[in-house]
Amino acid sequence: MKEVVVDVTRREAIGKNVSRRLRRSGAIPAVLYGGGKDPVLLQVDPVRIEQILRSESGVNTIFQLNLAGTEQRRHVMIREYQVDPLEGELLHADFLRIAMDAVIEVEVPIRLHGEAAGVKLDGGILEPVTRTVRISCLPGDIPEHLDLDVSAMKINDHMSVADLPKSDKFTLLSDPGLTVVIVAPPAKEEAAATPGVEAAAPLPSEPEVIKKGKQMAEGEEGKAEEGEKKAKPEAKK
């Protein structure tokens, strides 16, 4: 598979107004951390980061940052990111330097496959309990997901982390006894609604929802900028 390369540019200015102008220009603020080095303030095309987040490996994707105007490239992962809760737009991204020969810990999704016998034959309900598992491995060995076959499961059966596939390329760190999925008995019919019960309170009006969304978005911007202020002095060392 061809390695993913994302172009980035250094930036110096920080603050809400600077970040907003940056976003209006089609970029978002970002910070590069880790590797025993000082943080570096960057700006990046949000479309490239969204493509990575939507990929099969998501935040576990290892890719290269290419610093514009130089020959400097660095393997990284997405450490954190902020999204506007109202618009769904990417606001900020943090990258973590990765050494390809050093073991790291990551969360990997669990993918269930097959049709449980208890569901197919007895009308049971398949209920996922744990959707991700923590592993340690080399960056190049991170699996996109771990498959778990539920075909043999009957009513009241459960499968745990210990039932996940093993590999010499990674080590499972989550508790082996942690339940991953169960097959519950068929659901009973719900009792008819009790007469005279008061109706639920109406939802807030649309203007209030929009106002709250904007306040949350401003809060996300504030968190990102607070992190940048802490990183700013170190970046100039």
The answer to pTM > 0.75 is no
| Structural domain ending residue among the three candidates 98, 115, 134 | 98
Burial call 139-167: b when 16+ CB within 10 Å, e when fewer: beebbeebebebeebebebebbbeebeee
Q: Which domain CATH number covers 57? A: 2.40.240.10
Which of 48, 77, 98 lies at the terminal end of a domain, its last residue? 98
Question: Do 82 and 48 fall within a single domain?
Answer: yes
Model pLDDT for residues 114-151, shown as the tens digit of each residue: 999 999 999 999 999 999 999 999 999 999 999 999 99
Range of the domain at 120: 104-184
User: What is the bridge-based pairing of β-strands 104-113 and 132-137?
Assistant: antiparallel
Q: Tokens at residue 187, please?
A: 């659901």
Q: What is the pLDDT of residue 237?
A: 39
Residue range 141-165: average pLDDT?
A: 96
Overall domain count for the chain: 2
- pLDDT at residue 141 in the model: 95
Nearest alpha-carbon partner for 219 in 96, 92, 94, 42: 92
**For residue 153, which amino acid is it?**
M
Residue 190 tokens, joined = 């719900």
Q: What is the pLDDT of residues 42-98, one digit of tens each?
A: 999 999 999 999 999 999 999 999 988 787 889 999 999 999 999 889 999 999 999
